[in-house]
């Protein structure tokens, strides 16, 4: 709980500093940081082996959800994997931007993150999910302003993470 409060304060302070006004996104980003502070959360739920470690692996997993010949046929799994793609790419381009720039293409991460959130937004809209009915989907805003929110996470890391409680991902060599 201490970690959740820390991330919530850091994100909200960053949003105030950067004049970003989107309470639901600030809450979502605080939750995202809290989830990904645990390294096992960097992989989508239900994955055992082989681990999905790249965005390309995740894209292949989303596609495989529709393979009716596969033992794990489950189109609904695509929604889970797409959310993970959006969250993972936003987290990595925000918190570990230098690593993404060094090991991959930032443009690829941004485009895949936007695409994943756009998919989720359309899925919400088509299923009449509450988020789509309340004046605009959270996922639509994440897709439209992906770079802004990635930079807000980068700002939060540089400015507000200095007095962080013990954060496991800082010991992984991602910094």
pLDDT in tens, 116-162: 999 999 887 777 655 544 445 899 999 999 999 999 999 999 999 87
pLDDT in tens, 13-36: 999 999 999 999 999 999 999 988
How far apart are alpha carbons 132 and 164 in whole angstroms? 34
> For the chain, what is the radius of gyration of the CA atoms?
16
**pTM reported for the whole predicted model:** 0.76
The secondary structure element, H or E, covering residue 38 is none
Tokens of 36: 């990904």
Q: Where do the domains of the chain lie?
A: 2-171
């Amino acid at each position: 709980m201490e970690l959740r409060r820390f991330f919530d304060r850091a994100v909200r302070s960053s949003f105030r500093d950067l004049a970003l006004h989107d309470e639901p996104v600030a809450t979502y980003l605080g939750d995202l940081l809290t989830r990904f502070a645990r390294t096992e959360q960097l992989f989508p739920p239900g994955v055992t082996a082989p681990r999905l470690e790249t965005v390309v692996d995740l894209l292949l997993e989303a596609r495989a959800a529709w393979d009716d010949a596969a033992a794990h046929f489950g189109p609904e799994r695509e929604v889970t994997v797409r959310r993970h793609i959006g969250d993972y790419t936003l987290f990595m381009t925000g918190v570990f931007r230098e690593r993404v720039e060094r090991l991959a293409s930032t443009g690829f991460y941004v485009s895949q993150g936007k695409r994943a959130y756009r998919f989720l937004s359309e899925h919400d809209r088509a299923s009449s999910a509450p988020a789509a009915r309340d004046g605009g989907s959270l996922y639509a805003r994440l897709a439209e302003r992906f770079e802004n929110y990635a930079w807000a996470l980068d700002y939060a890391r540089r400015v507000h993470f200095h007095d962080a409680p013990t954060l496991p991902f800082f010991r992984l060599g991602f910094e």
